[in-house]
């Protein structure tokens, strides 16, 4: 018997499984923050028209603007006097700033924005209403024979307004004209509510949120062959009864039951291990073979291996039987993982053509119960079968996985010897550049060990050939292969610091992409200086990050309708709305102040990256980054402001894993004449310079602070 199992014991995850006995054949998982956006309806605004793509970009409230192709623009948005013949030009059809009602056809994937359409579809239990697409309509392609003839007669008797289209779903088979008309009335009221809400406020904002996973399961999966609906949460069970009534499916109300067993619901039906197989790369077959599923940016590749399969009298029979098993399992895994797009299957080579056709027919039969549209080609002479599957929602992997921070999703990392030699060549390349004083290589511990021992002579040879260039190799135990950082220091920019302090000194250059560094603002700090009897203490710099206003959540337009899809999600979860503003909030970066060393016999002034002198007004004292105070054994002396030469360019190059840049360095201390400080007159000038790196050509912006100085008296 087929059952629908709903697991709602964990608030962080809601799972719906369809089983036939103890075999899982469909699965839907929804987590807070990963709600389905496909079929959501928004009011958007045209921001840009691109004739070369024959498409427009629409701001509908998300961070990325949506993509609206010309073929998805309804005639109602064309100008009233538009009467061109042939293929229309998108610049003649739309204008920038125009407001449109759009529906998400394909959700965002990777760097691609959502694909939008203005042809709205409102799915019900038995019907799908297309209120602005009169050319669309008909009966589901899966309905055949006498059922199709009866539905055509029932469809002709429905009262459908002019200019609208209608599709009868598979669940409508055997339903009377009155039941279909009742479902149609719900869809029409829902469309009126959407139009009314769209007129209430300007774009962009969310009009209609697609239903939660339970309502979608009732709407899309309920068939007469479903014998039971088991739910392990009493609150969710009551909501399920309400959803069933709202969907107009009273015949299923008696099938909803509460599961109260001590063993978890999914474990009772032995499907937890089957669900886990959907998260694995390799899936075992009953005969001992296996299938390996790899998803890439372009397509999903599936390979069949015979492995330990021994079923069959010879190698040809074994290959044929393994391929038949693989066809059934591939169709099941495509549904469980919700894989979409282009799929290429590498079957085990079969010589007889009849075996190839039998495997193709087996695969077509196995995908027949899939809700998604599927197209299957023939097995080519290379043993490959190409097929495509409609992308209904983000795949299981996309919604529950993230890219590995170490390998960046490739699945492999470079070995230590190869990476070490690559870094050695990069060190030599940086050392060969003109005006180089030092080359700092901050590398993982195994790489540092290899370079300092097995390749010590090669490092010494580089220093010998490039007279005066010093190669510094620093192991960093917080860094893993294949990550490393090679930074070049120019003459006059070197910093007298211990080698093991270099990772901290270069931390900002290694961690942040250059594009982010260029946009970031350095936050000001306030330094409190308290004079004492004989020794002036340097107070810690109090750094307060700049306050960033958090984007406010968009208002939700209440749609007055009895449409079941707008019922609140169960398990006390609110729908995740898309923010109205697509302006990203830049991350604020706070520069750490470095303490100044004390000396007993002389006062030393250290200027952090000094450039042109700018005198700060008293009320702007809080905008200075840091102040450096000189120490003496007798009294505290503050150095006056000095105009120091602008240091040479620094290097700050970013790569995904590798960095070749120079550190921020301290300029030589200017000469000064000691004066008695008057603390009430202190002012802190701020300095700013920009540098362009030689290693990679990227520019960086840094802010530095100068010593607090007293204004000069006016003659």
d(CA 272, CA 266): 6
CA–chain centroid gap for 581, Å, is 18
d(CA 399, CA 395): 6
> 652 a known binding residue?
no
482 upstream amide cis, omega within 30 of 0: yes
Give, in order, the Cα–Cα distances in Å from 494 to each of 295, 425, 438, 610, 650: 47, 22, 7, 15, 11
Concatenated DSSP letters for 296-327?
Answer: -SS-EEEEEE-TT---SSSHHHHHHHHHHHHH
For 455-474, b/e burial (b = at least 16 CB within 10 A) is beeebeebeeebeebebebb
CA–chain centroid gap for 463, Å, is 44
Q: Among 218, 198, 216, 217, which residue's Cα sits nearest to residue 208?
A: 198
Q: Under 8 Å CB-to-CB from 58, ≥6 apart: which residues?
A: 44, 45, 46, 47, 65, 66, 67, 68, 100, 102, 116
Give, in order, the Cα–Cα distances in Å from 101 to each of 94, 176, 342: 13, 33, 30
Strand partners, 24: 19
Q: Among 532, 542, 695, 521, which residue's Cα sits nearest to residue 621?
A: 542
d(CA 426, CA 443): 12
Give, in order, the Cα–Cα distances in Å from 457 to each of 214, 444, 450, 528, 598: 67, 20, 12, 51, 39
> 404 a known binding residue?
yes
Burial of 228 (0-12, 13-18, 19+ CB in 10 A): middle
- 453-460, long-range: CB < 8 A, 24+ apart: 454/420, 455/420, 455/421, 455/424, 458/424, 459/424, 459/427
Distance linking the first and last C-alpha atoms of the chain:
101
Q: Among 129, 242, 254, which residue's Cα sits nearest to residue 183?
A: 129
**Torsion angles phi and psi, residue 25, rounded to 5:** -125, -5
Q: How many CA atoms lie within 13 A of 707 on its CB side?
A: 28
d(CA 582, CA 390): 29
Q: Among 233, 343, 364, 244, which residue's Cα sits nearest to residue 299?
A: 343
Concatenated DSSP letters for 139-178?
Answer: E-TT--THHHHHHHHHHHTS-PPTT-EEEE-GGGTT--HH
- Contact, 154 vs 180, CB < 8 A? yes
Q: Among 212, 211, 210, 200, which residue's Cα sits nearest to residue 43?
A: 200
**Which positions make up the binding site for Zn(2+)?**
404, 407
Residues at the annotated binding site?
Answer: 303, 346, 404, 407
Q: Which residues are annotated as a binding site for Mg(2+)?
A: 303, 346
């Amino acid at each position: 018997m087929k059952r629908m199992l709903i697991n709602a014991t964990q608030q962080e995850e809601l799972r719906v499984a369809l089983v036939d006995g103890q075999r899982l054949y469909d699965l839907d998982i929804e987590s807070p923050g990963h709600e389905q956006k496909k079929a959501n309806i928004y009011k958007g605004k045209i921001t840009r028209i691109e004739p070369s793509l024959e498409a427009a970009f629409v701001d509908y409230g998300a961070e990325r603007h949506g993509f609206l192709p010309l073929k998805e623009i309804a005639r109602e948005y064309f100008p009233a006097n538009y009467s061109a013949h042939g293929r229309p030009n998108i610049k003649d059809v739309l204008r920038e700033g125009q407001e449109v009602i759009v529906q998400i056809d394909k959700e965002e994937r990777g760097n691609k924005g959502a694909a939008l359409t203005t042809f709205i579809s409102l799915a019900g239990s038995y019907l799908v209403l297309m209120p602005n697409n009169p050319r669309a309509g008909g009966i589901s392609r899966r309905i055949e024979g006498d059922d199709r003839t009866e539905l055509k007669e029932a469809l002709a008797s429905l009262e459908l307004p002019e200019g609208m289209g209608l599709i009868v779903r598979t669940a409508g088979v055997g339903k009377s004209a009155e039941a279909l008309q009742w479902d149609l009335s719900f869809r029409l009221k829902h469309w009126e509510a959407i139009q009314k809400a769209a007129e209430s406020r300007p774009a962009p904002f969310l009009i209609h949120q697609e239903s939660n996973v339970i309502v979608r399961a009732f709407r899309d999966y309920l068939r007469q062959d479903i014998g039971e609906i088991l739910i392990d949460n009493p609150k969710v069970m009551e909501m399920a009864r309400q959803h069933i009534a709202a969907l107009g499916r009273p015949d299923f109300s008696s099938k909803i039951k509460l599961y109260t067993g001590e063993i978890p619901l999914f474990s009772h039906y032995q499907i937890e291990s089957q669900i886990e197989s959907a998260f694995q790369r390799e899936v075992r077959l009953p005969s001992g073979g296996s299938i390996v599923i790899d998803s890439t940016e372009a397509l999903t590749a599936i390979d069949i291996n015979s492995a330990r399969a021994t079923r069959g009298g010879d190698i040809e029979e074994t290959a044929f039987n393994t391929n038949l098993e693989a066809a059934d399992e591939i169709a099941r895994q495509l549904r469980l993982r919700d894989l979409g797009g282009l799929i290429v299957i590498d079957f085990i080579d079969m010589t007889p053509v009849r075996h190839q056709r039998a495997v193709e027919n087996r695969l077509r039969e196995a995908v027949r119960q899939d809700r998604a549209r599927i197209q299957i080609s023939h097995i080519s002479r290379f043993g490959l079968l190409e097929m495509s599957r409609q992308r209904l929602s983000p795949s299981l992997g996309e919604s529950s996985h993230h890219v590995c921070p170490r390998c960046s999703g490739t699945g492999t990392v470079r070995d230590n010897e190869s990476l070490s030699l690559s870094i050695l060549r990069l060190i030599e390349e940086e050392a060969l550049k003109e005006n180089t004083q030092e080359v700092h290589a901050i590398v993982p511990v195994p790489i540092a060990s290899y370079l300092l021992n097995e390749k010590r002579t090669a490092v010494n040879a580089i220093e010998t050939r490039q007279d005066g260039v010093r190669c510094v190799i620093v192991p960093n135990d917080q860094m893993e292969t294949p990550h490393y950082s090679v930074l070049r220091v120019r003459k006059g920019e070197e910093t007298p610091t211990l080698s093991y302090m270099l990772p901290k000194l270069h931390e900002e250059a290694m961690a942040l992409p250059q594009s982010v560094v260029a946009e970031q603002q350095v936050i000001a700090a306030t330094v409190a200086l308290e004079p004492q009897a004989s020794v002036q203490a340097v107070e810690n710099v109090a750094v307060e990050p700049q306050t960033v206003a958090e984007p406010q959540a968009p208002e939700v337009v209440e749609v007055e309708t009895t449409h079941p899809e707008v019922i609140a999600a169960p398990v006390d979860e609110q729908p995740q709305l898309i923010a109205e503003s697509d302006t990203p909030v830049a991350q604020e970066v706070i520069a750490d102040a470095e303490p100044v060393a004390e000396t007993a016999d002389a006062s030393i002034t250290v200027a952090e990256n000094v450039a042109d002198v700018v005198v700060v007004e008293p009320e702007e004292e809080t905008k200075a980054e840091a102040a450096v105070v000189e120490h003496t054994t007798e009294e505290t002396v503050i150095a006056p402001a000095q105009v120091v030469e602008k240091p040479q360019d620094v290097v700050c190059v970013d790569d995904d894993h590798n960095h070749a840049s120079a550190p921020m360095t301290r300029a030589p201390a200017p000469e000064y004449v000691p004066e008695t400080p008057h603390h009430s007159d202190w002012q802190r000038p701020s300095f700013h310079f920009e540098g362009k790196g030689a290693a990679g050509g990227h520019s960086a912006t840094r802010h530095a602070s100068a010593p607090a100085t007293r204004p000069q008296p006016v003659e």
